Amino acid sequence: MPSDDTLKRLVSESLKDAEALAELEQQCTQRPNDYEAHYQLAEAYAARGRFSEAATAYRAALACKSDFEPALVGLGIAELQRGELEPAIAALSQAAALNPNSPEIHFYLGNALDDAGKNQEAICALQKALALHPQFEEAHLALGFLYFRTGNQQGVREQYQQLQSLGSPLATQLSHLL
């Protein structure tokens, strides 16, 4: 059982957290056209695992500035976390169009496409992420798993070898699939 000091500290932290969110919400109410305020609120919600509220706040930021790439990426990830795959794909595709040289955006897009069962498109997105950043270990891992699920044993082996050459501990996760 936690001590009284521990409980007091936890309650205090919880109250501070609630106050910080309330302050961000108030900023959005006072400045409804401030895309950065909405974005900060969305990020705060996302950091707390409150993805529905984060998605709403990201949309509010995008209503103020439709080409705000960080909000598009955040919205895509929030929707992915919520299992809303088509909105995730739409937001991440738009972000990729705005910033085609971001390996992270292509990685998240590949994950969303993979979750939606769009295997070939997911492979293309993950390959694009790796073309932009060949040392992107998580993209190698995701592509290796995707190759496994689509029956491409040679692709699994290649991704495993890439991870090994990078000295990545993630290689062991693919080694079981060989």
**In Å, how far are 64, 74, 98, 161, 163 from 81, measured between CA atoms?**
24, 10, 22, 30, 26
CB atoms within 10 A of CB 72: 25
Identify whether residues 94 and 132 lie together within a single domain. Answer: no
pLDDT for residue 38 is more than 60: yes
The domain of 74 spans 1-99
Identify whether residues 131 and 91 lie together within a single domain. Answer: no
Lowest-confidence pick of 10-19, 92-101, 141-150: 10-19
pLDDT for residue 18 is more than 90: no
CA distance 161 to 31: 52
pTM of the model: 0.89
pLDDT for residue 20 is more than 90: no
Q: What is the mean pLDDT of residues 43-52?
A: 95
pLDDT for residue 1 is more than 60: no
pLDDT for residue 19 is more than 90: no
CATH of residue 9's domain is 1.25.40.10
Q: Name the percent of the chain lying above pLDDT 70.
A: 92
The 3-state secondary structure of 67-83 reads: CCHHHHHHHHHHHHHHC
pLDDT for residue 7 is more than 80: no
CATH of residue 126's domain is 1.25.40
